Structure 1
């Protein structure tokens, strides 16, 4: 599968099968995440790998339980902002790493979900506690990984009215 095909096929999956995913495969996803760009190459991104047991414990504390109960692995994408000198660049770094996980998972025939955490009042405190995040560490989101139990249509091409040339236009010319 080409990179473009993986990007176009990647969809949020919330239902997974019981088919196992090897730790070796999940480590490939983390390697892909670590290859994401980093502002000034400061590399603040850290990964917390969760197995089924860890995911079940997290599911006890959050509202959106199903993906964590069904997925095979979860990867929390965090950033260590202690002493970080790149402003808010860590947020882009962690987001790029998380997106790399999702695209890489699709390229391997896996399903994935971006469970957003950062600045989400209904999620952040529970996740911080479950992951034992120290002050100065931030969790951008968690990628839930598994074999998809649902099929989704791949993305369409961008709508023409969303493309502007040279400057922002209220109406397409």
Structure 2
């Protein structure tokens, strides 16, 4: 696959098949994240790969709290699309049946330049999304738990000696093929 095919083809998928992700493919996805660029080469990320059925259930118990707190945002954003709100509720409660979830934390607290470490960590997440797509896998990059204040609970449960929780990726084989949402105009200028 060419890079541009992964960039243009990747979608956020919220429903997965029961097919397990191989350890080999999982490691390629993780290693793609580890290869990301970062400001002054801090490599500020720490990934917790949640794969066991027991731990996925524990994770779902925490993420299930997100919908109630996030619903006002969804009501505002999708006021004319109640189906999207219901789909989001189902997804947050079940992680779409994903066989793997990758929790993304900062390696430590108290970086001098928080913006720089978030940028580097975001590059790592994008690398993982693109590698997953290259492997025939799908992802969904979730930030709602951080937005509604559940990030610290996730950190305490899954990475108590690491830094702030930033995001989660669901990972698995797609059960659906979402269409690309329209791209918005006015997002760049060439001068």
**TM-score range with shorter-chain normalisation?**
0.7 to 0.9
Partner in structure 2 of residue 103 of structure 1: 130
TM-score by length of 2: 0.76
Match of 1:142 among 168, 171, 175: 168
Query: 1-side partners of 2:112 and 2:149: how far apart?
Result: 29
- If asked which structure has higher relative contact order (CA below 8 Å, sep 6+), I would say 2
Partner in structure 2 of residue 22 of structure 1: 22
Alignment of 1:1-173 (within 5 A): 1-53=1-53, 54-63=55-64, 64-67=92-95, 70-82=97-109, 84-116=111-143, 119-134=146-161, 137-154=163-180, 161-166=186-191
The alignment's C-alpha RMSD in Å is 2.2
Question: Residues 15 and 118 (structure 1 numbering): CA distance in 2 closer, same or farther, change over 3 Å?
Answer: closer
Task: Could you tell me which runs of 5 or more consecutive residues in structure 1 were left unpaired when the two chains were aligned.
Answer: 167-173
CA contact (8 A) 2:107 2:163 kept: yes
Partner in structure 2 of residue 169 of structure 1: none
Task: Could you tell me which runs of 5 or more consecutive residues in structure 2 were left unpaired when the two chains were aligned.
Answer: 65-91
Question: Residues 87 and 13 (structure 1 numbering): CA distance in 2 closer, same or farther, change over 3 Å?
Answer: closer
Question: Residues 155 and 122 (structure 1 numbering): CA distance in 2 closer, same or farther, change over 3 Å?
Answer: same
Query: 2-side partners of 1:31 and 1:89: how far apart?
Result: 21
TM-score by length of 1: 0.83
1:58 counterpart SS class: helix
Instruction: Tell me the matched-pair count.
Output: 163
